[in-house]
Amino acid sequence: MTRQAYTYYPGCSLQHRSHAYESSNRNVAQALGFDLVEMDDWNCCGATEYFSLNRLPAYALVARNLARAANEGADELVVPCSACFLNLHKTDKQMAQYPDLARSVNQALAAGDLHYTPGTVRVRHLVEVIISDIGFTELATRITRPLYGLKLAAYYGCLIARPDSIFDSTEHPTTMDRLFEVLGAESVPFALKTFCCGGHMAQISAETGFEMIHKIVKNAAENGADAIVTVCPMCQLNLDVYQNSANKLFDTDYQVPILFFTQVLGLALGLKPSDLGIGQEFVDAMPAINKISEVPPPKPKRERRDKQALPMPVMPE
Amino acid sequence: MSDKRVGVYVCHCGHNIAGTVDVEHVAEWAWGLPNVAVSRDCQFMCASLGQDMIEEDIREHGLTHIVVASCSPHMHEKTFRGACERAGLNPYLFEMANIREHASWVHPHDKDGATDKAKALVSAAVHRVLQQQPLEPLQVDIRPETLVVGGGIAGIQAALEIADAGFPVYLVEREPSIGGHMAQFDKTFPTLDCAACILTPKMFDAGAHPNITLLTYSEVEQVDGYVGNFTVRVRRKARHVDESLCTGCGTCWEKCPKKVIDTVFEAGMGYRTAIYRPFPQAVPKYPVIDTENCTYYQTGKCKICEKFCPTEAIRFDMEDEYVDLEVGNIVLATGYDIFDARRIPQYGYGRLANVFTSLEFERLTNAAGPTEGKVVLRDGVTEPRSVAIIHCVGSRDKNTNEYCSAICCMSSLKFDHLVMEKTGAQVYNFYIDMRPIHKGYEEFYHRILDEGTQFIRGRVAEITDAAHSPEEEGKLIVIAEDTLIGRQRRVPVDMVILAAGLEPRADAQGVAHMFGVGCGDSGFFTERHPKLDPVATMTEGVYIAGACQGPKDIPDSVAQGAAAAARILGVIFRKQVALEPIRASIDESRCSGCRICNTMCPYNAISFIEELSVSRVNPALCKGCGTCVAACPSQIITGAHFTFEQIMAEIDGILVDVHTAPPEHTAVEAV
Amino acid sequence: MKTSQDLTFHDRVVALTPGGEALEQCLQCGSCGGSCPAGADMDHTPRGLFAMIRAEMEDEVLRSNTPWYCVSCYACTTRCPQQIPITDIMYTLKQMAIQAGHYDHPHATKFSETFIGFVEQRGRSFEAGLATRYHLYHHPTDMVRLGMMGLNMLRRNRLPLRPKSIREVDQLQAILAEAKAIAAKETYR
Amino acid sequence: MSDKPKLAQYWASSCGGCEIAVLGLHEKILDVAGAFEIVFWPCVMDFKYADVEAMADGAIDVCLFNGAIRNDENAHLAHLLRRKSKVLVAFGACAYGGSMPGLANFTDREAMFDWIYFHSPSTENPGNVRPEMRTTMPEGDLRLPRFWNTVKTLEQIVPVDYFLPGCPPEAGSIEIAINAIVSGQLPPPGSVIGSDTTVCDECPREKLNKKVKRFYRPHEIIPDPNICLLDQGLFCAGIATRAGCNARCPQVDLGCRGCYGPNEGVYDQGAKLIAGIGSMIDADTVEEVEAILDTLPDPAGYFYRFHLPQSLLRRKALGNGKKQPKTEPVAATR
Amino acid sequence: MSQNGTFKPVLVGFLCNWCSYRAADLAGTSRMGYPATLRDIRIMCTGRLDPTFVLRALQQGADGVLVMGCHPGQCHYQEGNYKAIRRFALLKRVLRQMGLEDARVQLHWASAAQGVLFAQTVAQMTEQIKALGPLDWPRHWPDEDPFARIALAMQEDAHE
């Protein structure tokens, strides 16, 4: 059962370049009947950058948030950004796993009169909160505008699938695909659903980054996706903002809009595109949104089994 | 206590102990322990010189108790007990202090610490041995019948060996036919002889042997008793076919309209009918009705098989039967399961059509298989022009199974040959290390190298259908680092074969529990000793053979089956076996009948005697674990050789140098 | 307590990485190199680097571009059959390379340093400042392309020009200062 | 002076119930009075310590000593009576095992005084009075015996010849002991006078296979009168308590308290209760086991109710188990 | 007990015959070093562990007690270790009430193949006990009776 209110850590990205995510999160939360209460005076998680420079301050930076959340009395912290999620989750986990690390981190925190006992705050990603706490059955009853005819590629990115998957699998999770089906949309096969978007690579070694972006967009487009749906502002930024640069490098012209999962969820809940920050993306999402049909698409005919063909391995439910 | 005379012997074990522990000092110090009449150190206690010394001292110095401080009791307890016995001393008046494995070898850089510990262990043994009582081993008679569980090649071999020696064997198999995994294979490495050609005669022999009672389509449900006298309850699942009438003519399965995917024998690659015989050479030849899929059992209509059966052998009303077998010994040869390749999702098995497991490929290439031996893609027609074989799938991987599955290198090489022979396709092997370790295996590897297979040293990272270049379109792309050149490679192929590892049977834990054997970390049954006793188990009278003990190939399975049989035959010929007298007993005159112990015994050795209101232990069933001894709140259950007094004495002895003296008087502040 | 001088390079990498002991278990199977989305650009695959660490090739390892191409996707870490925390080892190597002044790939470091500069100063990252400052210093030629992108971002309300700060910056700075002090005298297990 | 054997009885740290128990012999008390010459029994007759001190060593034939050793006065009398007695009997659970006074070993003197004189809800102590060993009054110094940190059993202070367990010892047990003394047919010194089996042996309730999913406290359920209380989840120490009381408490639906102490040969009654009760828990995971144990509050209190000072560990660790520097008095820690 | 002022704990181990005793043997045959603090006693099964043994070891001067057996589900006697889990949980609660730190008495599992785990467990527990300092239980019975030393000594003799 969903709570009334969750302690919320938005992360820096949602404050500037990913406003769209922030507004769609807030409006979807409201529509689903829970509050996201922003924790007081949170700081940046350090992204992937700080760990490269200096390990202990990096952990301390993250742990300040955990300690403050714990002081607020939070036993859960909901995070919409995959990078923030990973850093917070990993710090909590590793502090529990490695007492030496916990000791040093707490020694540093003590300089700010803080202390964090690992395990106090359960770090959760927003997508997992919505899917597990509300659940597919309940969500299905809230859908007012099913996304019939819309073909979506569920892009999980790395950091919620790895190192510890919050879903079913680190390699090929299917939970979000099921969400799309609940929303009335079709989930397209997408081999690169957990392939990395390149992170900061677009900044520091553009060609490496663009190649990764291009692979993802290509694979989604070739599987007929109208849009790629992400759960992470970094993934959205890379795939969206650099899509044309990647096109240029590989001489292609993919135009696959990149949406946040709360944006498509919001649409299905009947919210207006403008309330969901749609329009802030570089690759225009409106052509895709306009494809949404009033009526469900006809059920694809079950292909008759070829007499000669060998059976596929039986998958358990 | 004064008439007790303890002899203490501290072993140097060459340099093994003496290199770290000050052996002479320990022996000297031990003179000061209670009742010690002799204390010596010796180069090698286990050598005849050492043993003779014990015997002489017992005779000359009237020693009544012996302590040897040397290696682990699992190593030489028997040796020294023998020495005591030869000198006329009851072997249970001997105790061992393990100052090698538990002291010298683990504290090489702390000589003082190791010496102190050795002293503590010697003291513990001396204190303990003074409490020890003479015990007599329990002699039990051995029934000549043997139960073999599992009708694969290991079980068949064991059954035949024992039956040929003239003793009765019950061979229980859960599937409708014996044969096991070997019956599914086409060729066997490294000689490439046909599996059926070498297996079928053995299956036939087992089926026709006058000393072998075949119980197929049957499962063991309960095991009671102990070595020599097991009672085993077997459930004979209803075949729904009267074996006395059936001729195995095949009319029923030819007429049966219901087709289902055969996930057992055909590994999901082919179909069978609802009434079926798993394969043509099946032993016994009779079919069974699969009631879960039979139309009659689903809808109440059909009965076509009954209509066409020329001998009226179909019995829809047949029910499961139970038979109770009395056997003296048991061989577990329950085999293995193949690793479920879906657990490595990046390899795409179950998602990408042309990714096959090794067992699927065995069926594909088998002349009697679903494609009649044609190597084709999942569409059933297209021959692959390039094939990748991925080694170590679900093996050598801490995320799945850490162990090496032992057979995959060789079966992959066999596949290499079969693919090339049948299709001429280019074959790529992705491997971490090649381990062709038995006779003729390395030669086979060279032969396959000669045949032109490519070997890429690198564990495959993933298999994908996401093409990045035109030549990858429509193919499966195998992505791996070629570690020999240090570069990432993408190899597009038509077909991928996953050399899936071997795993313990899914129900191995339950079976282990039923038969009282252990499972190791990997889940395979644990042998009594990994080197010196590889087919016996911790439970007397229960032996293991074949892949249930660990991954192994056909020759090793056959060898183990025969070895288990030899062990059992030895016991049968002896007619009696001596059991360790480590048993619990209840002092009934003092038992209050609280019944706390009643639920403790995993072997149901404790019963409550209502009329006397006391509990009683059946010594033949008791295995001496001592859990009832610990549980008894009145402390009136005695665990022989691990009595309360013995262990308490051992605790006091082991802390002999730290016994806290009575506390000194301390000043107390005024109140 | 051993000091860093007493330890081999390999031991130091292990000591500085939570769970780093697993490095000793490397089978050289190449799962990491095969899994790496940026592997093609690396001068050594991670596996190769681990062999070099074992061989005490400190200089070459710390000059390798491999850690700098790591995108922190953890694909190698989850697939490693020996459960080596490869991503975390890459972080360790980057940190050691910076300390040794050894890295030949300043872009990544400078990007990280610029990013963290804002975080240390204000407690939050600052996109607009990061982009301008990082590119101005390190990629001045890219400024035109970047300027266009920045404008596009601005137009879409995705690039606030005023940095945000947290309230208790003092607390954060005290914590970070202390952490740096501890890290500076980091003892090796 | 008569020829009758000389009997002394003394009451150290205890409730006095043992004295009453002797009187509980009813008319047989007259036999006692007839058989013995009572030379010291402060509870019923006026004697002074000086009278005892004046006796020759070994002048008392039998001394029934009840009560634990709690303070210097108790200890002094223990030594004194030991010296003057041929046979010293630890009479009742307090002298034998420490019993109720011994439960104070779960804490220490300072904490106890703090609670009793200052913090207990029923305490009213406006003058902040607290017992002192020495108080100066106009009339002179008043002295109290020193109060110990740790309660001890009689045997921990002086050698004891016989132990008579029970809180109080059952009349039947006392009779057996007295008769043995009178007839001179005494068991070997050091013996506990009593049975060598446990309370269950005397308990008429039907015992079942013991497996419990939770424990109950007496107010939570009404037990079946014919079934073993433990089988019903009610704590009963009978499984690990020496028989001799005829299962008095279980007969009235109350779990055995354990006053007769450990069975013959047992070192630690609490350990046997841990083993016995622990064996009944019907759960396989640590979490389940803990959940079941949550329904059995204060196990140490239950298991060591009558024998904490006599148990192997004898008392709760002082100073949180940390070793105190040798120079510092132990009593200073709390 | 202490040399050059450094505290070297004394741990008493109760190892089951089938798994952890063999794990200790394996640690030996594989020469895996660990501190010489553990003095082990072989019992057939952790199900044999009478809580009295643990109390006795503590009373007799051990600084800690380590009980090790087969992993749950792998007991040679099928379920002896489950019985150990149950009794041990209760024992721990009582010991906690007696003021004993949790780390002093521990229950761990090691299969016959886990020599490394065995060595690590001993090393880890040794460190924990070092941090706690000596237990020296009888010092927790401050002796206020000047005569009692004699009585105690006699009592100890009686128990021998």
Q: Do chains B and A touch (3 or more CB pairs under 8 A)?
A: yes
Average pLDDT over residues E19-47: 93
Would the CB atoms of B481 and C30 count as touching at under 8 Å? yes
Structure token digits, residue C154: 């601005």
Residue B397 has its nearest CB partner, among C45, C47, C81, at C81
Average pLDDT over residues B504-521: 86
Which chains form contacts with chain B, at 3 or more CB pairs under 8 Å?
A, C, D, E
Do C123 and C156 lie in one domain? The reply is yes
C39 domain-assigned: yes
Question: pLDDT tens for residues B349-364?
Answer: 999 999 999 999 999 9
Please list the ranges in chain A whose pLDDT falls under 50. 317
C16 domain-assigned: yes
DSSP 8-state code for residue B200: H
Q: Does E102 touch chain D (CB under 8 A)?
A: no
Parallel, antiparallel, or unpaired: how do β-strands D162-164 and D191-192 relate? parallel
Q: Find, in chain C, the residue whose alpha carbon is nearest to that of B486.
A: C45
Q: Which residue has the higher pLDDT, E75 or B273?
A: B273
Show the domains of chain B with their CATH numbers.
6-129 (3.40.50), 146-237+321-335+505-576 (3.50.50.60), 251-308 (no CATH), 340-503 (3.50.50.60), 584-639 (3.30.70.20)
Q: Which of D334, D277, D331 is nearest to D148 (CA)?
A: D331
- Per-residue confidence (pLDDT) for residue E17, from 0 to 100: 93
Question: pLDDT tens for residues D175-228?
Answer: 888 888 888 888 888 899 888 999 999 999 999 989 999 999 999 999 999 999
Residue E26 has pLDDT above 90, yes or no: no
Residue B643 has pLDDT above 90, yes or no: yes
Do C84 and C176 lie in one domain? The reply is no
C45 domain-assigned: yes
Question: pLDDT tens for residues B41-75?
Answer: 999 999 999 999 999 999 999 999 999 999 999 88
Would the CB atoms of C35 and B459 count as touching at under 8 Å? no
Give the H/E segment covering residue B288: strand B288-289
Question: pLDDT tens for residues B454-488?
Answer: 999 999 999 999 998 999 999 999 999 999 999 99
Mean pLDDT of chain B: 93
Taking every pair of Cα atoms in chain E, the longest distance, rounded to a whole number of angstroms, is 53
Q: Does E131 touch chain B (CB under 8 A)?
A: no
Q: Which of E138, E134, E107 is nearest to E10 (CA)?
A: E134
Q: B571 with B328: CB under 8 angstroms?
A: yes
Q: What are phi and psi of B667, to 5 degrees?
A: -65, 140
- Per-residue confidence (pLDDT) for residue E4, from 0 to 100: 44
Which chains form contacts with chain C, at 3 or more CB pairs under 8 Å?
A, B
DSSP 8-state code for residue B536: B
**Chain D residues whose beta carbon lies within 8 Å of the beta carbon of residue E99:** 316-318, 320-321
Optimal mutation site among B404, B432, B477, B483, interface C, most CBs of chain C within 10 A: B483
Would the CB atoms of A313 and B349 count as touching at under 8 Å? yes
- The boundaries of the domain holding residue C148 are 106-183
Residue by residue, pLDDT tens for chain D (334 residues) are 567 889 999 999 999 999 888 888 777 777 777 888 989 998 888 888 899 999 999 999 999 999 999 998 999 999 999 999 999 999 999 999 999 999 999 998 888 899 999 999 999 999 888 888 888 889 888 888 888 889 999 999 899 999 999 999 998 888 888 888 888 888 888 899 888 999 999 999 999 989 999 999 999 999 999 999 999 999 999 999 999 999 999 999 999 999 999 999 999 999 999 999 999 999 989 999 999 999 999 999 999 999 999 999 999 887 543 433 333 333 323 2
Residue D265 has its nearest CB partner, among B591, B599, B635, at B635
Average pLDDT over residues B193-207: 95
Do C141 and C88 lie in one domain? The reply is no
Residue C99 has pLDDT above 90, yes or no: no
- Per-residue confidence (pLDDT) for residue D330, from 0 to 100: 32
Show the domains of chain A with their CATH numbers.
5-125 (1.20.1050.140), 144-290 (3.40.50.11810)
pLDDT band for position C142 (50/70/90)? low
- The boundaries of the domain holding residue E108 are 2-159
List the single range of B374-378, B512-516, C90-94, E93-97 with lowest mean pLDDT. Answer: B512-516
Say if the ipTM goes beyond 0.85: no
- Per-residue confidence (pLDDT) for residue C40, from 0 to 100: 85
Query: Distance between CA atoms of B349 and E35, rounded to whole angstroms?
Result: 48
Question: Of C104, C137, C165, which residue is a domain's last?
Answer: C104
Do C173 and C113 lie in one domain? The reply is yes
Question: pLDDT tens for residues B412-423?
Answer: 999 999 999 999
- Per-residue confidence (pLDDT) for residue C128, from 0 to 100: 66
Residue C112 has pLDDT above 90, yes or no: no
**Cα B585 to chain centroid, rounded:** 31
Residue C160 has pLDDT above 60, yes or no: yes
Average pLDDT over residues B206-212: 97
Q: Find, in chain C, the residue whose alpha carbon is nearest to that of A20.
A: C158
Structure token digits, residue D27: 């008319």
Chain pair B-D, CB pairs under 8 angstroms:
99
- Per-residue confidence (pLDDT) for residue E145, from 0 to 100: 57
For the domain that residue C31 is a member of, what is the CATH number? 1.10.1060.10
Tally of domains in chain C: 2
Parallel, antiparallel, or unpaired: how do β-strands B502-504 and D85-91 relate? unpaired
Do C116 and C70 lie in one domain? The reply is no
Question: pLDDT tens for residues B311-362?
Answer: 999 999 999 999 999 999 999 999 999 999 999 999 999 999 999 999 999 9
DSSP 8-state code for residue B122: H
Taking every pair of Cα atoms in chain B, the longest distance, rounded to a whole number of angstroms, is 107
Query: Distance between CA atoms of B326 and B336, rounded to whole angstroms?
Result: 27
Q: B145 with B167: CB under 8 angstroms?
A: yes
Chain pair D-E, CB pairs under 8 angstroms:
148
Sheet holding A186-187, edge to edge: A186-187, A151-154, A227-230, A258-260
Structure token digits, residue C163: 């940095």
Question: Of C104, C125, C151, which residue is a domain's last?
Answer: C104
Q: Does D221 touch chain E (CB under 8 A)?
A: no
- Per-residue confidence (pLDDT) for residue D172, from 0 to 100: 85
Show the domains of chain D with their CATH numbers.
6-101+151-192 (3.40.50.700), 107-148 (no CATH), 199-303 (no CATH)
Do C93 and C9 lie in one domain? The reply is yes
- Per-residue confidence (pLDDT) for residue E147, from 0 to 100: 55
Q: Do chains D and B touch (3 or more CB pairs under 8 A)?
A: yes
Question: pLDDT tens for residues B104-134?
Answer: 999 999 999 999 999 999 999 999 999 999 9
- Per-residue confidence (pLDDT) for residue D332, from 0 to 100: 29
**Chain C residues whose beta carbon lies within 8 Å of the beta carbon of residue A61:** 119, 172, 175-176, 179
C188 domain-assigned: no
Do C55 and C141 lie in one domain? The reply is no
For the domain that residue E154 is a member of, what is the CATH number? 3.40.50
Q: Which of B128, B6, B103, B119 is nearest to B658 (CA)?
A: B119
Do C14 and C89 lie in one domain? The reply is yes
In chain D, residues 40-79 whose CB comes closer than 8 Å to chain E: 69, 72, 75, 79
Query: Distance between CA atoms of C184 and A60, rounded to whole angstroms?
Result: 14
Q: C185 with C1: CB under 8 angstroms?
A: no
Q: B416 with B410: CB under 8 angstroms?
A: no
Q: Is C127 left (phi over 0), alpha (psi -120 to 50) or beta?
A: alpha
- Per-residue confidence (pLDDT) for residue D333, from 0 to 100: 30
Do C12 and C61 lie in one domain? The reply is yes
**Chain C residues whose beta carbon lies within 8 Å of the beta carbon of residue B481:** 30-34, 39, 45, 47
Query: Distance between CA atoms of B113 and B109, rounded to whole angstroms?
Result: 9
**Chain C residues whose beta carbon lies within 8 Å of the beta carbon of residue B489:** 34
**Cα B656 to chain centroid, rounded:** 41
Tally of domains in chain E: 1
- Per-residue confidence (pLDDT) for residue C140, from 0 to 100: 60
Chain pair B-C, CB pairs under 8 angstroms:
74
In chain D, residues 281-310 whose CB comes closer than 8 Å to chain B: none
Would the CB atoms of B345 and A171 count as touching at under 8 Å? yes
Query: Distance between CA atoms of D230 and D223, rounded to whole angstroms?
Result: 10
Q: Which of D77, D93, D78, D10 is nearest to D309 (CA)?
A: D93
What's the gap in Å between the CA of B638 and the closest CA on chain D? 12
The beta strand positions in B71-211, using DSSP E, are 94-98, 138-141, 146-149, 169-172, 187-188, 193-194
Mean pLDDT of chain A: 91
Apex B179 CA angle, B178 and B181, nearest 5: 130
Mean pLDDT of chain D: 88
In chain B, residues 614-633 whose CB comes closer than 8 Å to chain D: 627, 630-633
Optimal mutation site among B468, B479, B488, B490, interface A, most CBs of chain A within 10 A: B468
Coil, strand or helix at B388: strand
Would the CB atoms of B101 and E24 count as touching at under 8 Å? yes
- Per-residue confidence (pLDDT) for residue B151, from 0 to 100: 97
Q: Determine whether C6 is exposed, middle or buried from the number of CB atoms within 10 Å of its CB (0-12, 13-18, 19+).
A: exposed
Residues 6 or more apart whose CB falls under 8 angstroms from that of B375 comprise: B361, B364, B365, B383, B384, B418, B419, B422, B423, B425
Which chains form contacts with chain E, at 3 or more CB pairs under 8 Å?
B, D
